A and B are shown apart, each in its own frame.
Chain A
Amino acid sequence: MTTTATILIRPEGQVADEWTSVATAADLSLVEGPAIVPFDAIDAALAERRNAPLGVHLPNHVAPDAVEPYLTQVALVSVAFPAFSDGRGFSLAKRIRRAGFTGRLRATGPLIADQFADALACGFDEVALPEAVATRQPAEQWVEARSIVRDHYQSGYEGGASILEQRRAAAAAKAEGSHA
């Protein structure tokens, strides 16, 4: 069953988590509703053919090619962040989205509020945060920290038009105006 208590944070704030993490496919029979299994249990879990939604929890060093075949078969992908300073999960998220995954993408681990905007930009929908970190950094801090820096220079990430794209749009609008 769940090893550590976590708090789920989404852009709108803290929300209830209807997903339960289990350690093995056999444990699936112990829970009702949506469940997340470790990557090494995904084949067995799929073979169970449960009716409830299935999610998979990935180590951050997994090869993206190894994950791809499962992306159409799960409703949630959780990416492990063993430490907030280990940024591999950001690139993995980007690659999972690029492979066409449209379900829920979750960052699981002791991230910090200052990484919320980046996590969302790389394609995550939510962060499952250990309770101990959430006690110091409640959801309100995450929501606030996320919006301090309002723009980003990088194109091709979530979160609206980049500064470079906004400049181009402004220049185009100006050119349009001068023709009118």
Chain B
Amino acid sequence: MYRYDEFDERFVRDRVRQFRSQVERRLDGSLSDDEFKPLRLKNGLYLQLHAYMLRVAVPYGTLDSRQLRQLALIAEKYDKGYAHFTTRQNLQYNWPKLKDVPDILDLLADVEMHAIQTSGNCIRNVTSDQFAGVAKDEVEDPRVTAELIRQWSSLHPEFVWLPRKFKIAVTGAGHDRAAIKVHDIGIRILRHPETNEVGYEIVVGGGLGRTPMIGKVVRSFLPKAELLAYLEAILRVYNAEGRRDNKFKARVKILVHETGEEEFRARVEAEYAKLNGPTVNAPEGEVERIAAYFAPPAYETLPERSEALEAARASDPALDRFVEQNGFAHKVPGYIALTVSLKGIGEVPGDMTDAQMRAFADIAERYSMDELRVTHSQNLVLPHVKLDEVAEVYAALKANGLATANAGLITDIIACPGLDYCALATAKSIPIAQAISKTFADDDRQREIGELPIKISGCINACGHHHVGAIGILGLEKSGVENYQITVGGDASENAALGERVGPGIDADQVPGAVEALVSVYLRERQGSERFVDTVRRAGLDPFKAGFQAFVSGAGQEAAE
């Protein structure tokens, strides 16, 4: 894991002092409310429906036990005893007081953490693959690049007042778990087809929100050493030319779309040709310095197969099921990565109590080389567990209510905070997630249905990523009543696709039934080992539309009777 050196430490402390000064100058009237607002947002502080919300950066989703314990302490002392993991690998506190925020930032700085640029019209916290350094199909650990970008983007003098927020994701694997095609910039680490040199594919202009778009490849191969200069060129074109007349058209995806892919690429390349790359790029040795922190931990030499685990699985079906569903193959023999679901049946997706955080920190410290990850599907990961110790880990997780075996299944639902917390929301999303979760609570039924990511957003801004859910649910407000639009076929992976509507919007209480109707279409239509999204792709939208329509008419009839 990356560790701060004296420069990083001083920088984060200075940033806390800066925020403290900004709060003081707001209170004494030097800064107007309009001036203070973007300053607090750039430090992750929102004013929500009921209170302030502080969003803490978890850069590329990597944490250690010391950090998680500190996050637990903050939850206990300054919140209501819990915290919420978000769809961008961050963590939110929903109840801090403004006067406490500088102290919370100090506590974060004590464990090399911050809330820098987790909001506002600037470059946001950079995200990555939750299985970085673990996955077998990885060219290179993407966190080295992500950390370099974290540093480069922090308090950038030129790019803090962009037209709109700007999100960057990095993946180093063949299978894209970082959803790079739906980010403002997506970076894929790859090998040059001829020279075998490691470099980057640069994708620009993807995004969800009210105008979802799949990103375009602007550079198919960028030499690694040129990254920062190339990012500067993209950001400069966007900062100068992105629309500022309408906040709904201000993201870079709109600039790419309106300018045209070819012309946008030409403008970036023209800017890139003009700037003095060597003065911008990371100096020689810096990438190696960062990379050293992400060197593989001291794995033991272990057999591929663990007799202890096989025996335990044979005698405990629940353990067997947990490993089957939540286990992820590790590149090192004798190890496994385990997804730890924060989606217990009927629970709030992504929520964790301070007690669970402490217990989980102990587990990560003891069994996973002191490392854990946050996923963009609001779960956690123990990246380096010995197969021999999986049964012990499972028992410890179970004792803390963290052993739900539903990773990737229909109850592993992503949901934004929605109308329960968010000032922008037009509808509830958490209660919808809870209702669907209860409907499909039965383990056998979930297993029969298989991989089916449901994603729910409580407004058009799409924080719940509904466009890329195999089933996507968007909550809107229609004449004072919450109304839900259902889509199918969305996919956030390297085969990125946006979901399509199956019919008119429905009431909240109809949503679980509608999902059941869509699932029965899938179970009827599927061939072989097809996942839900595969069946939608092959069979098309029509059978799903028909099944949905039949459900809606049936439900209408029932209500009339």
Contact = CB atoms under 8 A, between A and B. Distances in A.
A and B form one complex: yes
Interface of A: 61, 84-88, 90-92, 94-95, 98, 112-115, 117-118, 121-122, 136-137, 141, 144-145, 148-157, 159, 163-168, 171
Contacts of A114: 18, 22, 39
Interface string B35-48: 10011000000000
B14 A150 contact: yes
Interface string B260-288: 00000000000000111001111111100
Given A90-B161, A98-B275, A167-B7, A155 B21 contact: no
Contacts of B39: 114
Contact of A168 (B18, B244, B286): B286
A154 B17 contact: no
B31 A145 contact: no
B157 interface: yes
A114 B26 CA distance: 12
Question: Closest 8 CB pairs between A and B?
Answer: A87-B161, A121-B157, A118-B157, A156-B279, A156-B280, A149-B14, A168-B283, A163-B7
B11 A88 contact: no
A153 B240 contact: no
B25 interface: yes
B300 interface: no
Contacts of B274: 98
B11 A90 contact: no
Contact of A167 (B5, B11, B276): B5
A61 B244 CA distance: 11
Interface residues of B, number: 49
Contacts of B154: 153
B7 A118 contact: no
User: Do most interface residues of chain A lie in helix, strand or loop, or is the interface mixed?
Assistant: helix
B18 to A, nearest CB: 4
Given A122-B157, A148-B18, A154-B152, A165 B30 contact: no
B446 interface: no
Interface in B20-73: 21-22, 25, 29-32, 35, 38-39
Contacts of B549: none
Nearest to B154: A153
18 contacts: A84-B161, A85-B161, A87-B161, A88-B240, A91-B158, A122-B157, A136-B29, A137-B25, A153-B152, A153-B155, A154-B158, A156-B276, A156-B279, A156-B280, A163-B11, A167-B5, A167-B286, A167-B289
A122 B17 CA distance: 23
B285 A171 contact: yes
A90 B21 contact: no
Contacts of A121: 157-158
Contacts of A85: 38, 121, 161
Contact of B21 (A94, A145, A154, A166): A145
A98 B275 CA distance: 8
B151 A164 contact: yes
A92 B32 CA distance: 27
Nearest to B15: A149
B194 to A, nearest CB: 31
A137 B24 CA distance: 13
A88 B213 CA distance: 25
Given A90-B161, A149-B11, A167-B286, A154 B156 contact: yes
